[in-house]
Structure 1
Amino acid sequence: MSEYIILSIFLFLGAFIAAAATVTGLLLGYRTKNTKNKMAPYECGMETIGNARIQFKVGYYLFALLFLVFDIEALFLFPVMMNFKEIMAGHTALPPSVVVIDLIIFIAILVSGLAYAWKKGILKWE
C-alpha cells in the first residue's frame, strides 16, 4: 500500500509543479501584441518562400507525425529483435506466443496508419 502512496505523492507533485510553472509564466511573462512579423513563420533566418500548406495538401506536421510513428516503431522493435532468440527459446517473462501476437498487433496498427496516410495523400510529393 505504501507504494501507491508514494506514487500518488509523485503524481501530485509533478502536476503541481507543471501547473505552478504555467501559472507563473502567465502572471509574470512579458506580453506583446500579435503583429504580422511575430506571427510569420521563421525558418533558418531566411525569408519564407511560398506556402507550405499549398505544397503539401495536409501540411508538414502530418508528414512529421508519420515519420515520428515509424521512428517509434523502430525504437520498440529493436529490443525485441535483438532478443528474439531468447524470446523464442522461452527464456523471458512472457511466453513466445504472447510476444508474437503483440508484435503482430503492433505492426498491424502501424500498417493501418500507413494505409490511412497513403489514402489521405500525405505521401504524395508535388
Structure 2
Amino acid sequence: MSDYVVVALVTLLGVALVATAMGARRLLAPSDPTPAKVTTYESGVDPVGSGWQQGSVRYLVYALLYVVFAVDAVYLFPWALVLRSDLGPASLVEMGLFIGVLVVALLHVWRRGLLRWW
C-alpha cells in the first residue's frame, strides 16, 4: 500500500507544481490585449481571404511516412543493442516480420507514386 501512497504524493506534487507555475505566470506576466495581438495569424503572415481553403494531402502522406519510420527506428535501435544478449530465434523472426511489413508498406507507397515531389 505504501507504493500507492508514493505515487499519489508524486502526482499531487506534480499537479501543485504546474498550478503554482500557472498562477505565477498569471500574476507576473504583463497583459495588454489589443486587437492586433488577438488576431489570428499563420506563421507570422496576416490572414487574407476566407479561412477555408483546399490543401494538398500529399504533405500529410510525407508526415505519416516520417512517423512510421521514426517509430521503426525507436523499435530497432534498442533491439539491436540488446541483440548481443540471448534473445533467441523467436525475436529474430518477430523483427523480420516487423521489417517485412514496413518494406511492403514502403513498396506500396512507392508503387502508388506518393513519394514523388511533383
- TM tier relative to shorter chain: 0.5 to 0.7
State the partner residue of 2:91.
99
What's the secondary structure of 1:74's corresponding residue?
helix
Partner deviation per Cα, 1:79-114 (whole Å, 9 max, x = no partner): 10011111xxx2xxxx51101000110000100111
The superposition leaves residues 25-74 of structure 1 with CA deviations (integer Å, 9 ceiling, x where unpaired) of: xxxxxxxxxxxxx8xxx6412268xx752xxxx42111100110000000
- 1:60 matched residue in structure 2: 59
Number of positions where the alignment pairs a residue of Structure 1 with one of Structure 2: 74
TM-score by length of 2: 0.54
Q: What is the alpha-carbon distance in structure 1 between the residues aligned to residue 82 and residue 65 of structure 2?
A: 27
Coordinate RMSD, CA, aligned: 2.5
Contact 1:52–1:60 (CA under 8 A) maintained in structure 2: no
Scaled by the length of structure 1, the TM-score of the pair is: 0.51
Instruction: Name the structure, 1 or 2, with higher relative contact order (CA <8 Å, separation 6+).
Output: 1
**Greater radius of gyration (CA):** 2
| Poorly superposed stretches of 4+, deviation over 6 Å | none
Residues 1:116 and 2:111 are matched in the alignment = no
Distance, in Å, in 1 between the alignment partners of 2:46 and 2:117 is: 23
Query: Gaps spanning 5+ residues in structure 2: where?
Result: 1-39, 48-53
Query: Could you tell me whether the CA contact under 8 Å between 1:62 and 1:122 is conserved in 2?
Result: yes
Gap change, CA 1:52 and 1:114, over 3 Å in 2: same
Cα distance change on mapping 1:121 and 1:72 into 2, 3 Å: same
Q: Distance in 2 between matches of 1:68 and 1:114?
A: 13
- Inter-CA distance 43–118: structure 2 relative to 1 (3 Å threshold): farther
CA distance in 2, matches of 1:125, 1:70: 19
2: CA distance, partners of 1:101 / 1:63: 29
- Give the letter for the 2:114 counterpart: I
Which letter maps to 1:82?
L
